[in-house]
Amino acid sequence: MEELIRKAEDMGINVEDVLISLISKNDPKEEIKLRLDLAKRYMRECEEYLNKGDAIQASEKAYKVAEELIKALAEKFNLEEYQKTLREGRWYTYLLVSASSKLSQKLGDWVLSGWDAGYSLHVWGFHEAKLTVSDIIPRVEKVRKLLEESEKILTNN
């Protein structure tokens, strides 16, 4: 199973996105709930890695928080970027960037700040492995605010 998942990911397939889409096919609100639950789980994992002093893994988990929240908010507000992912079958980074900009205009600077911090962690903390725990903590806090504010919106019918 792990080899199958690895091959799918090597092909650019986000296995979690595919599963979430399939599970929530009959109930679109379920997708938002699943993404919020994932974001909360990733934040807990980020904190665990921070406590262990693992800046690389903490960075990637914080990024995953931001990614899931932008996707959930884009769906909640039925943004053009969300509609494009439905047509194309996947999220692309440029769609997340565009969605975060639109959501920030609609909801506040905390969206763009959280997304930008998460993406910076993804690139410089995870892929490039250039950041220390003390470097990432302020950015993780911006992602945490994104989670807190998003949860208010996503759980409010």
Q: How far apart are CA 150 and CA 78, in angstroms?
A: 15
- Both tokens of 39, joined, read 């974001």
Tens digit of pLDDT for each residue in 32-86?
A: 999 999 999 999 999 999 999 999 999 999 999 999 999 999 999 999 999 999 8
Contact residues for 17 (Cβ-Cβ < 8 A; gap 6+): 71, 90, 91
In the three-class reduction of DSSP (H, G, I as helix; E, B as strand; rest coil), residue 78 is classed as: coil
- Walk me through the domains of the chain, giving residue ranges and CATH numbers: 2-154 (1.20.120.330)
pTM of model > 0.75 = yes
